[in-house]
Structure 1
Amino acid sequence: MTGSLSGKRILLVIGGGIAAYKVLDLARRLKERGARLRAVMTAAAQRFVTPLSLGALTGERVFTDLFDLTDEQDVGHIRLARDADLVVVAPATADLLAKMAGGHADDLASTCLLATTAPVMVLPAMNPTMWAAPATRRNVATLLADGVTVVGPAVGAMAERGEAGVGRLVEPMEAVAAIEAFFAAAETPRPLAGRRVLITSGPTHEPIDPVRYIANRSSGRQGHAIAAAAARAGAEVVLVSGPVTIPDPAGVAVVRVETAREMLAAVEAALPVDVAVMAAAVADWRVATAADAKIKKDGSGAVPGLALTENPDILRTVGHHVARPRLVIGFAAETNDVIANGTAKLARKGADVIVANDVSPAGGVMGGTRNTVHILSAAGVEDWPTMDKDAVAERLVALIAARLGDLG
């Protein structure tokens, strides 16, 4: 059979979650594209789908038991772990992620994952509260640092009634696309291999009181797209993200922050890096003293005064830092005089490149999927056409690779 995955050996590791039913469709889609599939199921996974169903779709026996006498006569778990071009864990439950991060090997699935020398891709799926839990975030950070590719989770409704948020398994075709992209990237040049890239993304939230804050309309899509493109180009990427509702990019270490001061601290902690891309829409001001309790109306009609103070300038700090990256790229989100304001920012901030764009409400850039940018540098102005934010990210990463190549 020919196809985009023809001859690729993929080991599916199925975890125990309701989303396991989607893996049946994923297996079918992978087989349609020519992949050679083998599958391992945890005991919990077998409560949701049967080995018989999965075996019918993979065309192979499904493995479930670490102590199967026939298989283990030739150390079957080692053979399974090594005879793969890619190991895909789906759904990657909180428990399975914890086992992987901790190096546990108490069943066939976790033993194969510990014994494999193949690249590993995990597709997390769990309740949003479990995904947001500090323990899960630590485990995911560990796996990313170990080189594991993380795809998803997606945003949407959960199996539990009334529950929604970040935690859904990505749809089968999204998983297929990620797997195809993985193999395509492995077979194409990686111009940022060996480079360390720091990216900021999203807005910041500056508290007024425990329930209110100052913010802006940034969705984080552009910064997250740049992080994903840099990772695909082979870079080690640290993404410092303000509060967003979009999924984390695959293959990226994410540090979540709320305020500008927290973002600055995370940025400085990530230095040194080769490249810094400051794409976050950081609030210029914060309330000088946030209230400890909700500010209440007193019935007089008087409006409470909010004394503002200036937030730290993260781009300027990085542009003049003792550990300044070799290449510093900033963003200028303007509503008028885009080129003039962006050019002034280039000189003032100590950046090598400013990506200037018009964020007037009529353009729909903030929160939207398309962007029109102008690349400002000492060499002048380069106007890019309106593109999808993913396309802007790919082109910007190509520019970064070229600039680093020129620097030697």
Structure 2
Amino acid sequence: MGKPQVVLGVSGGIAAYKACELLRRFTESGHDVRVVPTASALHFVGEATWSALSGNPVSTEVWESVHEVPHVRIGQGADLVVVAPATADVLAKAAHGLADDLLTNTLLTARCPVVFVPAMHTEMWEHAATQENVATLRRRGAIVLEPAVGRLTGVDTGKGRLPEPAEIFEACRRVLLRGPRALETDLAGRHVVISAGGTREPLDPVRYLGNRSSGKQGYALARTALARGARVTLVSANTGLADPAGADVVRVGTAVQLREAVLKAASDADVVVMAAAVADFRPARYAEGKIKKKDGEEPAPVELVRNPDVLAELSAERPHPAQIVVGFAAETDDVLANGRAKLARKGCDLLVVNEVGDHKAFGSEENEAVVLGADGTETAVPYGPKEALAEQVWDLVAARLS
């Protein structure tokens, strides 16, 4: 089997230089990449750079090597087309089927998954015309990632920054791994909210009650949902992980903060997945100064109070009856029995039950679980990458959405 064929479209924005790093990640991981820049992109990064990094010829015009019919053949032979950065101009042309250069011709002839990674000033991204073009592309099955928030050109800051190349590559890798299923963007047009990580409940300015959740499973759920076309809001609690390309990330610390962020985001969500490890209790009192150790004295007991039960609240107070709520249950014994009891108690549609402990689930790249359904179904997911579990969860969600 030959190398996966990737077309990297580069349009004329200042973020074009970041595409060099994306190209390097593709080539070093065994992909054959054909770079198709727009004429304006060459003002930022020259043809020689693209050719040297990819090992393939570079052209912007349909009139070069006409006997090879490049405006048709490049798109026909691709396993993936990714446009990064995608300017407002290219998004508009793609949405309206215009084809005035090699890149836009390639987009019209491609029958593989197409990923657009927009980058532009905030005002351009938020303009009604751009938003309508994005909606059109998504409706047709293209994956359009949300831009990141951060420093733009000059002194401007806002939404419109190109996500980090490493995360763009991860998004594209996820699409390629789905194979033919990648054309089935079964979450397109859906807003999904995912919580990830572990909450921390402050005891004093330097100490907290926490847990060992790394957030990796929640982030795998986010990346997989993005690859299936969803708009993703990721509520992240103390993870330290890089933002998945295309996700709107809301950072929180405590269970109360997580509840507020999730309920706000869930108001228009089709699906809410509570993958975060939310603390059941928090200290009843917060010490304004560091609690001191006193010679000859035992520490005072730490009184705890209950935190809000966010999963139960989400299940009971859905903004619309079609919203699907998925919970996670980390158990150390009687895993399935405790999971079934929790499913009945919480009232969610699906509950992902997994055993945790030393070298199990927390911090690992792998996981195994049983997904319990409120309809009595049980789906076992064998030990494997957390992305595989994420795919299975979204398969079950997609079936219920349809």
TM-score, normalised with respect to structure 2? 0.68
CA contact (8 A) 2:145 2:247 kept: no
How much has 1:338 moved relative to structure 2?
A: 0.8
1:163-199 CA distance string (max 9 Å, x none): xxxxxx52997587368579977x6111222222221
Query: Which of the numbers 364, 384, 388 marks the counterpart of 1:368?
Result: 364
The yes-or-no answer on 1:396 pairing with 2:390 is: no
- Residue identity opposite 1:139 in structure 2: K
Query: Match for residue 265 of structure 1?
Result: 260
**Partner Cα separation in structure 1 for residue 246 and residue 13 of structure 2:** 20
**Partner Cα separation in structure 2 for residue 176 and residue 322 of structure 1:** 33
Query: Match for residue 9 of structure 2?
Result: 10
Query: Match for residue 139 of structure 1?
Result: 159
Query: Which of the numbers 357, 379, 382 marks the counterpart of 2:354?
Result: 357
The yes-or-no answer on 1:283 pairing with 2:279 is: yes
- Residue identity opposite 1:274 in structure 2: D
How much has 1:316 moved relative to structure 2?
A: 0.5
Query: Match for residue 38 of structure 1?
Result: 37
**Partner Cα separation in structure 2 for residue 343 and residue 366 of structure 1:** 21
How much has 1:402 moved relative to structure 2?
A: 1.0
Question: Which residues of structure 2 form unaligned runs of 5+?
Answer: 61-99, 108-113, 126-133
- Residue identity opposite 2:192 in structure 1: V
Query: Match for residue 195 of structure 2?
Result: 200
CA contact (8 A) 1:123 1:170 kept: no
How much has 1:204 moved relative to structure 2?
A: 0.6
**Partner Cα separation in structure 2 for residue 29 and residue 12 of structure 1:** 23
How much has 1:12 moved relative to structure 2?
A: 5.2
**Partner Cα separation in structure 1 for residue 278 and residue 167 of structure 2:** 33
**3-state SS, counterpart of residue 5 of structure 2:** coil
The yes-or-no answer on 1:323 pairing with 2:319 is: yes
1:117-162 CA distance string (max 9 Å, x none): 9976699899xxx79xxx86x526xx7xxxxxx65x4xxxxxxxxx
**Partner Cα separation in structure 1 for residue 16 and residue 104 of structure 2:** 26
Alignment RMSD (CA, Å):
4.2
Query: Match for residue 124 of structure 2?
Result: 103
**Partner Cα separation in structure 1 for residue 37 and residue 299 of structure 2:** 66
CA contact (8 A) 1:41 1:51 kept: no
How much has 1:315 moved relative to structure 2?
A: 0.3
Query: Match for residue 165 of structure 1?
Result: none
**3-state SS, counterpart of residue 372 of structure 1:** strand
- Structure 2 matches for 1:7-406, cutoff 5 A? 8=7, 10-11=9-10, 15=14, 22=21, 25=24, 33=32, 35-38=34-37, 52-54=48-50, 59-60=57-58, 85=107, 100-103=121-124, 138-139=158-159, 151=163, 153=164, 169-170=165-166, 177=173, 188-270=183-265, 271-323=267-319, 326=322, 327-361=324-358, 363-377=359-373, 378-405=375-402
Change (3 A) 1:83 1:299: farther
**Partner Cα separation in structure 2 for residue 243 and residue 331 of structure 1:** 18
**Partner Cα separation in structure 1 for residue 115 and residue 228 of structure 2:** 21
**Partner Cα separation in structure 1 for residue 143 and residue 377 of structure 2:** 42
**3-state SS, counterpart of residue 392 of structure 1:** helix
Question: Which residues of structure 1 form unaligned runs of 5+?
Answer: 63-77, 105-113, 144-149, 154-168
TM-score, normalised with respect to structure 1? 0.67
1:189-236 CA distance string (max 9 Å, x none): 112222222211110111112222111111111111112222222222
- Residue identity opposite 1:291 in structure 2: A
CA contact (8 A) 2:47 2:58 kept: no
**Partner Cα separation in structure 1 for residue 183 and residue 189 of structure 2:** 15
How much has 1:13 moved relative to structure 2?
A: 5.3
How much has 1:267 moved relative to structure 2?
A: 1.3
How much has 1:21 moved relative to structure 2?
A: 6.4
- Residue identity opposite 1:11 in structure 2: V
Change (3 A) 1:309 1:232: same
Change (3 A) 1:333 1:173: closer
**Partner Cα separation in structure 2 for residue 87 and residue 376 of structure 1:** 33
**3-state SS, counterpart of residue 159 of structure 2:** helix
CA contact (8 A) 1:242 1:257 kept: yes
**Partner Cα separation in structure 2 for residue 171 and residue 314 of structure 1:** 29
Change (3 A) 1:228 1:177: closer
Q: Which moved more, 1:309-318 or 1:50-59?
A: 50-59
1:304-356 CA distance string (max 9 Å, x none): 43221111000000011152553221111010111111111111111122111
- Residue identity opposite 1:400 in structure 2: V
Aligned pair count reads 336
**3-state SS, counterpart of residue 256 of structure 1:** strand
**Partner Cα separation in structure 1 for residue 190 and residue 401 of structure 2:** 9
Report sequence identity in percent.
35
How much has 1:370 moved relative to structure 2?
A: 1.3
